[in-house]
Amino acid sequence: MKQDLRDVHNLLAFMKRTEREGKTDKECTKRLFKTSLDVASLEVVLVDTTHGTNKTYHNLFSILVDDDFGKGQNVQHSLGESKTKENLVFYLEELKDKNPATEDIRGVVTGKDFKDRDMLIDALPQAREMLCQFHVIDYLRSQVGSRCQRGSEAKKDICAVPQLVMKAESAKINKAFSEDKFRSLGSNKKGPFFLYFEAN
């Protein structure tokens, strides 16, 4: 018997229907917000904005939290013409007004291109801002790749270093990665490549 993707989607839709059968959309939404905001207690939220992903080029500003099952749940979507500081402040103020649990936010994860960090600090002073690991590794790889003047094999090895450094589980492992990075970069502490790695 051959399965196709449509069968999987139909099965998931059926499971969702039976799970919330007899409840109105309002009840389902209220339950989702109560579950994701009260139970998850909003310790860490992810703030991200799309860029040019629809016909009108509006930005979709999203705030996500992890639910009890470790799955990301949207707690707010806002659609705006531009990613200005005023719009972002408005979106965060709306979240704070509608959800008293925002007092519990202790960490905000953003992408590397999120330029209005001061606005986040003003809106959520109790939270610590963290950069998304995926965005940082992707950015470092692109920077390393564009600046590397070596052969393709050396370039491939050097591009793998940022991910290894980010995933280091101890200071000892991090030191070993740093020493390996230093050797990979030609053991030249004054070289532009080494200086770039040290700065970032």
Tokens of 116: 């209005």
Would you call 79 helix, strand, or coil by DSSP? strand
**Predicted pLDDT at 24:** 60
**Predicted pLDDT at 40:** 46
Distances (CA, A) of 47 to 94, 104, 108, 125: 14, 16, 7, 15
Q: Are 78 and 61 in contact (CB under 8 A)?
A: yes
Q: Which residues of the chain have pLDDT under 70?
A: 1-9, 11-12, 15-42, 49-54, 67-68, 70, 112-117, 145, 147-150, 161-168, 181-200
- CA atoms of 110 and 49, how far apart (whole Å): 9
- CA atoms of 51 and 54, how far apart (whole Å): 8
Q: What is the pLDDT of residues 163-190, one digit of tens each?
A: 666 666 777 877 777 777 666 666 666 6
**Predicted pLDDT at 138:** 75
**Predicted pLDDT at 36:** 44
- CA atoms of 191 and 195, how far apart (whole Å): 6
- CA atoms of 102 and 196, how far apart (whole Å): 37
**Predicted pLDDT at 38:** 45
What is the separation of C-alpha 158 from the centre of its chain, rounded to a whole number of angstroms? 24
**Predicted pLDDT at 79:** 74
Q: What is the DSSP code string of 158-181?
A: HHHHHHHHHT--SHHHHHHHHHHH
Q: What is the pLDDT of residues 20-50, one digit of tens each?
A: 555 665 565 555 555 444 444 567 777 776 6
> Could you give the domains of the chain?
24-131 (3.30.420), 134-199 (no CATH)
**Predicted pLDDT at 22:** 56
Q: Read off φ and ψ for residue 75, nearest 5 degrees.
A: -110, -15
